[in-house]
Structure 1
Amino acid sequence: MNVEALFPELAPFRRETVRLHPRSGRPTCRDSSVGGPLLWPAREPWPECPEHPGSPMVAVVQIFRADVPDTVSFPEGRDLLQVLWCPRRHASQWVVPLVHWRSAAEVGEVRQTPPAPADAGYGRVPRPCVVHPETVTEYASWDLPDELWDALDARFEQVEAETGWHYQDHLSTAPGTKLGGYPGWSQEPRWPVCPLCSTPMDHLLTVDSTEEHDNRQAWTPVEDRDVRWEGADLSLGGLDSVRLFECRTCPGRPFAHRYGA
């Protein structure tokens, strides 16, 4: 469905996101993956949780620049994104994440990815998955200004009555684990602000518990209809997600995260 043909006012709110479509597999450290081994240098210590010293973080996402479109912003001289988190229970949050950018050519000898801690929380260690990147167009949902939402609401309802397509569920933001685009809030947005420059951060990555929700089948690729794939087997606060953000202008790309709805 051509969203902008129906609602041309949404054109300024268009964004591209890359859905990763993780599916159970056997990725190596030289593959883009969810939950697979990381291309981590043997000369560097494996990251440990700052709240649980001595407890290794687990690999969550690894993305090589060559595997995703140019719409994904990599820092200059870096072609590998690696995301880890501590899967153990914490007093005030589900996970403690870490974002690392590096040059794959500079890794050299590779450190073996350690096993997850024995007391990792349920559903917080992703099953190793290969990824199948798909670029889709998104539009603001909860990020749409109130005055524009009020102006479009009657037309949203008319389109839903005529086609069955609900704007928030079917036409705005995609579900699942994805890079860029909109975070896919399920309530009022909570964009973090960079601690260095005090500007709102950009959405880097959403790691979702599930790739689809019953009322969002419209986002299922045609070739996946009626096919059941094994995904990353996550359960983040039930069936929610962890959203990572970054500042793309400050040195070191400071990051922050949000979890839950």
Structure 2
Amino acid sequence: MNVLIVFAHPEAHSLNGSLKDFSVQQLKNAGHQVQVSDLYAMNWKAQLDAADTQAPLVGEYFHASLDSRFAYEHQQQAADITAEQEKLRWADAVIFQFPLWWFSMPAIMKGWFDRVYACGFAYGVGEHNESRWGERYGEGNLAGKRAMLVVTTGGWESHYSPRGINGPIDDLLFPIQHGMLFYPGFSVLPPVVLYQVQKAADARFASWCDTLATRLDTLATCEPIAFRRQNGGDYVIPALTLREDIAPGQSGFGVHQKR
């Protein structure tokens, strides 16, 4: 497989840096081809703005969707955006690794999504009509590829349990896994989440590597999260609400996953 690792941590000598290096070696030892986008090392520009297009603005002022679509369709995007899109085309699987900072990914990685996911590439794809609402949530340009999160957090696992003070980890990661990965077509694998990483890291590093190795070794075969496909018949179009006969009386993130 061709595997892309998108990595966001400012310190190469951190636990995250060591885990990333372990993943690269583990994948290569298994015969996979690996590329790494180390966002801090690349000095990745996080903000989406008019500098991301080499073309004149479509209108009088910068419009994120219109200008990114024009630049994408006319091969006039900033070079770093195009390079990351080419990596995504090359990859069979993409691993996004980051520490959980303030209940989300670091800003630099969010900026990677903002800029690389250009209109026409990751969204704004397909026709909208009474039976389909574009190619998204299980369809799109990244369909057929796999994605997985590797997340570290200082909190205890119980803090992120269904009744934990921080909220269930599946709920916290839902906007990323469902909204940023499943939306453009990725098959999303269950995440690897490592807890209490600031406690006895040296003593626990080997066990964390064992956990990660098991998931990396099954990257091609692990069963994806069973998110419901938008155009698969479960949703009323164009309202895009779940049919009333599916999970009746229920709401929340969980209803968008088949149980």
Query: TM-score normalised to the size of structure 1?
Result: 0.22
TM-score (norm 2): 0.22
* Larger RCO, structures 1/2 (Cα 8 Å, 6+ apart): 1
